[in-house]
Amino acid sequence: MTSRNWDKSPETEKDSKFHDLRDSGYRGPIDQDGNNLEDVNAWADEQLGR
């Protein structure tokens, strides 16, 4: 499989999840692990320890 990264570097599991979401038509926010985010505010609160 060829890399879908802009620099053609090997895809990590996180990269693959990101690209799979985009290829499926998802255009919403994606976290650093390649997961779609349903509630960005809740995610931000969690990241900030609120």
pLDDT of residue 50: 92
pLDDT of residue 29: 95
Q: Counting Cβ atoms within 10 Å, is residue 18 exposed (0-12), middle (13-18) or buried (19+)? A: buried
pLDDT of residue 2: 87
CB neighbours of residue 11 within 10 Å: 16
Decide if pLDDT at 4 tops 90: yes
pTM for the predicted model, two decimal places: 0.78
User: Are the C-beta atoms of residues 11 and 5 closer than 8 Å to each other?
Assistant: yes
